[in-house]
Amino acid sequence: MTDIYFDHAATTPVHPEVLQAMLPYFTTVYGNASSTHGSGRQARAATLHARETISQFIGCTPNELIFTSGGTESDNMALFGAAAAGSHKGKHIITSQIEHHAVLHACEQLEKRGYEVTYLPVDKTGRIKLEHVQQAIRPDTILISTMYANNEVGTIQPIDDIGLMARDKGILFHVDAVQALGHVPIDLSRLPVDLMSFSAHKIQGPKGIGALYAAKHVKLEPLLYGGNQERKRRAGTENTAAIAGFSKAVQIIDRNTYETRQKLEKLRSEMAAKLQQALGREQVVINGHPVERVPHILNVSFPGISTETMLMNLDLEGIAAASGSACTAGSLEVSHVLKAMRLEDEITRSAIRFSFGPSNSLQEIDKAVEKIATVVQRIRN
Ligand SMILES: Cc1ncc(COP(=O)(O)O)c(C=O)c1O
């Protein structure tokens, strides 16, 4: 049984107000948003309201928002959609080595289809260097795709600067903002970004719903063909309940942005400080950028204790945490993010991600640190 949930970067519990906002669309307002009768019109009104709420929060117009099934689909739609629409101009794409697999595996697939992809390196804190972006740009580059905040170490990328470079060369710029929404202010009316991906389940919304921002001028080939939904950019009956939930989750962040950020920052800094106090500074290595980072992710290495052993022991103690490593054939592979950061082997093989949410408390931090200290000492002895 999980007692302490420190895995909010993987997913968050649905906020009770979100659940309440969703319920009518399962029970009373179950019409199809494309139907012309009363129930359909009510469902449509809910999606319009949600589109307005979310677009206002991120500073775009409602028509620039396409509802999708989540971050993965948004990333795929941005990459495949922009690649197909821009292939007459060129077939070169730039991304980074530390992207989420929703971007990396889509890029691998694009390579199989004749596109060329440059995977930018990052420094030891997980940041892309602007000079590397500059050097990678070619006359046939059609798209640059980088994440806003990394899901394993929390490092924030210099997206303003990358976006300006892209704009200067007439290259489309896609940003995966799945881990940034709610944690970093996003104002698309000012950001030099053409496409941006979002997901609701990272912000106390339901799973299986997200959005892609596509600026008015962006041409995208759809991934899905069928009905005329989403202005023919994404066919399929709208998931009204999930869309209403996503909208409510955004309203909740909007209402509490400042307090939530302060709280998460406090939880993160207390956890880091208390772990170092309990175990000694050299036994607790914090990964990622010290300043350019989101407040909810703390990636820590416990040198000498493998990620696998640590996660198993934390689970036994009722603490849910994560690693960025994929489990293949029963053992953990080293995370591609930490590998790209070129940290020492000892560090990459012992990294654990703790990620916090608004429902966590300082008491939980104290309890977790105590348990972790016991686990570490037990394993080391
Ligand atoms: C940075 C990033 N991009 C994309 C995704 C995929 O989002 P979803 O789970 O909504 O498909 C995730 C989920 O962990 C993520 O962290």
| The predicted structure's pLDDT at residue 120 | 98
Total structural domains within the chain: 2
Residue 263 belongs to domain with CATH number: 3.90.1150.10
Per cent of the chain over pLDDT 90 is: 95
Residues 30, 193: Cα–Cα separation, whole Å = 36
> Do 220 and 307 reside in the same domain of the chain?
no
Quote the DSSP letter at residue 172.
E
Residue 86 belongs to domain with CATH number: 3.40.640.10
| The predicted structure's pLDDT at residue 331 | 63
> Do 226 and 313 reside in the same domain of the chain?
no
Residues 102, 56: Cα–Cα separation, whole Å = 26
Ligand 1 mean position, distance from CA 186 (Å): 17
Strands 141-147, 92-96: pairing is parallel
> Do 236 and 284 reside in the same domain of the chain?
no
- What's the pLDDT tens digit per position in 117-165? 999 999 999 999 999 999 999 999 999 999 999 999 999 999 999 999 9
> Do 159 and 26 reside in the same domain of the chain?
yes
- What's the pLDDT tens digit per position in 282-341? 899 999 999 999 999 999 999 999 999 999 999 999 999 999 766 555 667 889 999 999
**Residue after which a domain boundary falls, among 251, 275, 295:** 251
> Do 211 and 70 reside in the same domain of the chain?
yes
**Residue after which a domain boundary falls, among 190, 224, 251:** 251
- What's the pLDDT tens digit per position in 94-109? 999 999 999 999 999 9
Q: Are 202 and 12 in contact (CB under 8 A)?
A: yes
> Do 239 and 336 reside in the same domain of the chain?
no
Quote the DSSP letter at residue 65.
E
| The predicted structure's pLDDT at residue 330 | 60
Q: What mean pLDDT comes out for the span 59-84? A: 98
Residues 178, 117: Cα–Cα separation, whole Å = 22
> Do 79 and 199 reside in the same domain of the chain?
yes
> Do 85 and 166 reside in the same domain of the chain?
yes
Ligand 1 mean position, distance from CA 63 (Å): 23
| The predicted structure's pLDDT at residue 1 | 75
Helix axes 101-112, 71-86, angle to 10 degrees: 30
Catalytic residue list contains 60: no
- What's the pLDDT tens digit per position in 187-217? 999 999 999 999 999 999 999 999 999 999 9
Q: Is the pLDDT of residue 19 over 90?
A: yes
> Do 193 and 262 reside in the same domain of the chain?
no
> Do 131 and 233 reside in the same domain of the chain?
yes
> Do 270 and 226 reside in the same domain of the chain?
no
Ligand 1 mean position, distance from CA 71 (Å): 5
Strands 327-328, 331-332: pairing is antiparallel
- Tell me the residue range of the domain where 238 lies: 16-251
Q: What residue ranges line ligand 1, CB within 6 angstroms?
A: 70-72, 75, 100, 102, 147, 151, 176, 178-179, 199, 201, 210
> Do 367 and 302 reside in the same domain of the chain?
yes
Q: Which atom of ligand 1 is nearest to the CA of 149?
A: 1
From the candidates 169, 327, 370, 374, which is the catalytic residue? 327
Whose C-alpha lies nearest to ligand 1, atom 8?
A: 71
